[in-house]
Every structure is written in structure tokens, then in C-alpha cells.
Structure 1
Amino acid sequence: MPFDRFVQTGRVALVADGTDKGRLVTIVDVIDQTRVLVDGPCSNVMRKGLRINQLQLTKLRIKFPHTASTRVVRKAWEAADLSKKWAETQWAKKLDNKEKRANMGDLDRFKLQLARRERNRLRTVAYKNLKAKAVRTGSLFGKKSIKPKKATKKPARNKKPVNKSAKKEAKTAKPAAPKPAAAKPAAAKPAAAAAKPAPKK
């Protein structure tokens, strides 16, 4: 998002330092790069020059001519109902609560402690109830409730009929004896080896 709080005529600011700290003013004119002329006719701030680093710019702005008089500024302030708009902002509510706590006494701080304790107790009870409900419904951490699946029977396969008596006979039948191996014919010896020469005398 682009920056939209500029130092310009009509910009409403909160004084953050000095004698007028915590009061609303509006910028009437820019004196130089570091100082502006401000006026707060409805917040009891007289027209004077302030440093820019003493101001905290808000998102509110009223329209009036450049270097307008205090009477014109007051008229534009009241026409825009600026005080009511500022009181409705979160910024103003935080400052109001901060001021109230600074002005609290011992009894007020004790009452605040008891109120916080009761608030925390109620918050814990509500959290536990919601958590238990989420666990029961199965929606804890954003998960949807899981429904149990119905048991479905698978269709039986078409099996071929088996003859049990034939199986038993095959198991009880003795295995056939192995056939004896045929004897191999002896190889014929060569004639030269069979006829031995006669010894010489």
C-alpha cells in the first residue's frame, strides 16, 4: 500500500512532544523542511510553529485554504466533526486506556486483576468445550469428519471343480522303480596290441 500521510495543509497530527503533548492540531502552512505552522482551535492549542519530528501524522484531514485564519480552521474542524472521528479510532482508544491505567489506584488494580482472572477462566472453559466438540466430530485442525467405510463382500471367483479322491490316490501311490541303465559294449582292442611278439632266444 502506498504512503498516504503527507505533510500538507489540512493534515491532522498528534503532538508527541512538548507542552501540548497528546493534543490534536492541524497543519496550516509549511515553514521549511523541518518546521510547520500548526493550529488547534478546538483542542486548546494556539497557532505556532512546531518541528515535524514533534508530530505524529494521522490519516485524518480537513479542507481549508492555504494559510487560513483560526476562525476558518475552527469552522472546517467543526464541519468535519473531527473530534468525534478521532475518538472512534483505535489510536485514540489506546491512548485513553493508557491514561486510565496510569491514574489507577491499588484497589482499581486489584479489581482489574480479579477481572482478568475470571476472563481467563471463562476463556479456558470455552476453549476446552470447543476442542472436545471438534475431537468428537473429527473436525480438529480443519479436518473433515471421516465416515467408516461399509464392508463389501468380493464376488467369488469361478474355480474349476477339483476331484479330491484323485488327489488322495496320487499322494498314496508309490513312485515307480527306476529302470536299470543298459551296459555299454566294451570297445574292441586293436589287433596289433593283441598279438605280442615272441621273445628272442
Structure 2
Amino acid sequence: MVKLDTYKLYDRVVEVGRVVFIAYGPDRGKLAVIVDIIDQNRALIDGPASGVVRKEIGYKAINLTRFKLPIQKGICTKALKKVWAREKMEEKWAGTAWAKKLDSRQKREAMSDFDRFKVLKAKQARTRLINEEFNKLKASADSSKTSKKSKKAKK
């Protein structure tokens, strides 16, 4: 039987100190921290490094990250900025696959037509090299099979 206190169903819960990614609204794409919980639908957030002013936001407009800062409820922006810097949240966020994916998506969107063409040609060249090597290996494997069959036929 599974003990309920040792089994953790969720690891990302809405709580004070949880770092969130704003998915919708004017501050879309920025990081913030939950400073206070207003009710079951809204929270008070503050983004000390991303320029998000303290405001209330609905839970549907944010995505919870795995990071949590050790702060108290209702902490002021100045103190939150110190904790943010001490915990090195910018570096931690930049190291996640989520942030890398967003960064690559932004780079792709910022590409010009010629940049997209260069990427296309590079992918074609890479695929051509892979296929040539694969065909060489396939041919050598086929020739070794046929030589084994011919040896068996001679016996």
C-alpha cells in the first residue's frame, strides 16, 4: 500500500514564492513570482528582474515553473529583488529546456527569408552526407550477405 505522505502527486503547486511564466497578456513571455494568493482564481505577482510591476493575474494566464523562492507572503519588491539575485533565477531559468526552446523559437521567428534559405540548404547538405554514408554501409552489408550466400551455394 502506498503511503500518501510519501507519494507526491504534483510538484508544481500555486504557492507564495513560486516562479511563474506569464503566458498571456501584455507581459507575455516574462518571469514573475507569486507574492500573495488572492483567491482560487487570482494571485498577486511581482517580476523583480523582468520589469513586471506588482499586479494581480489569473491562474489561466500563467504557467508554473519548477522554481520556488524562499520568501514570505507580501514581500516588498526591493527584498524580492535581492532574493531573486541571491538565488540566481535568471541563470537557472536560462538553463532549462523550456527557456532554450523559447529562445530558439524567437530566433526562428526573427529570421529573414535568406536566413531560412541558408538553413534549408544546410539541412539538405547534412541529409545528403548522412544518406551517402548510410548507403555505403548498406552496400557493404549487402555485399557481405551475398558473399556468405555464394560460399554456402559452393559447398
TM-score range, shorter chain: 0.7 to 0.9
Question: 1:127 offset after TM fit, Å?
Answer: 3.7
> Partner letter of residue 95 of structure 1?
L
Question: 1:134 offset after TM fit, Å?
Answer: 6.7
Equivalent in the alignment of 1:12: 19
User: SS at 2:103's partner residue?
Assistant: helix
Equivalent in the alignment of 2:32: 25
Residue from 6, 9, 19 that aligns with 1:2: 9
8 A Cα contact 1:28 1:67, kept in partner: yes
- Structure number having the greater strand percentage: 2
Are 1:98 and 2:105 matched, yes or no?
Answer: yes
Q: How does 1:70-89 map to 2 (within 5 A)?
A: 70-89=77-96
Q: Which runs of 5+ in 1 are unaligned?
A: 139-201
Question: 1:131 offset after TM fit, Å?
Answer: 5.1
Q: 1:121 to 1:36 in 2, by over 3 A?
A: same
Question: 1:3 offset after TM fit, Å?
Answer: 1.5
Q: Aligned-pair RMSD on alpha carbons?
A: 2.0
Q: How does 1:137-152 map to 2 (within 5 A)?
A: none
Please, what TM-score do these two structures have when normalized by structure 1? 0.63
Q: How does 1:45-194 map to 2 (within 5 A)?
A: 45-128=52-135
- Structure number having the greater helix percentage: 2
Q: Deviations over 1:64-122 (max 9, x none)?
A: 11111111111110011100111111111111111111111111011010111112123
User: SS at 2:49's partner residue?
Assistant: coil
State the percentage of identical aligned residues.
Answer: 41
Count of residues in Structure 1 that have an aligned counterpart in Structure 2: 138
Q: Which runs of 5+ in 2 are unaligned?
A: 1-7, 146-155
Please, what TM-score do these two structures have when normalized by structure 2? 0.81
With CA pairs under 8 Å and 6+ residues apart, which has the higher RCO, 1 or 2?
A: 2
8 A Cα contact 1:64 1:72, kept in partner: no
CA distance in 2, matches of 1:127, 1:22: 42
CA distance in 2, matches of 1:73, 1:83: 14
Q: Deviations over 1:1-24 (max 9, x none)?
A: 731000001111110000000000
